[in-house]
Amino acid sequence: MTIPGNVLTDLPKNLPDELITTLLESANVRIERIVSHGHASAPDFWHDQEQHEWVIVLKGTARLRFEDGTVEINPGDFINIPAHKKHRVEWTTPDEPTIWLAVHYDTR
């Protein structure tokens, strides 16, 4: 048996854009690795998603903005973002890659 991949070590050297890799795709759930390196959402862009999203930061630091406030996320921190709760990535550290896991799921 072999391990299909490693989210911490399989990193590209250059990262002109945020990198999103689907690790699992199923009927009700999609798990992604997201690698940001100083990236943020485009100015005035807000995510407004059909599915719920549970995210955790494994490495690096990020700031998420919601309509009611901002939260800083450090390694190990997790947060659940209900469907249609508007949010944007305000900032990720320029010092190192920020590695997120995102679990998109629905409740239908």
- The residue among 16 and 41 lying less far from a copy of itself, judged by its C-beta, is 41
Joined together, the tokens standing for residue 74 give 């450090």
Which residue from 45, 46, 78, 95 is in contact with a copy of itself, where contact means CB under 8 A? Answer: 78
Compute how many residues bind a copy of itself; rule: CB under 8 A: 39
Residues 3-62 that bind a copy of itself (CB under 8 A): 3-9, 23-24, 26-29, 31, 52, 54, 56, 58
- CA–CA dist 79, 102 (Å, integer): 10
Residue with tokens 């990236």: 39
- 74 near a copy of itself, judged by CB under 8 A: yes
Edge-first strand listing for the sheet containing 19-25: 19-25, 29-36, 98-105, 52-59
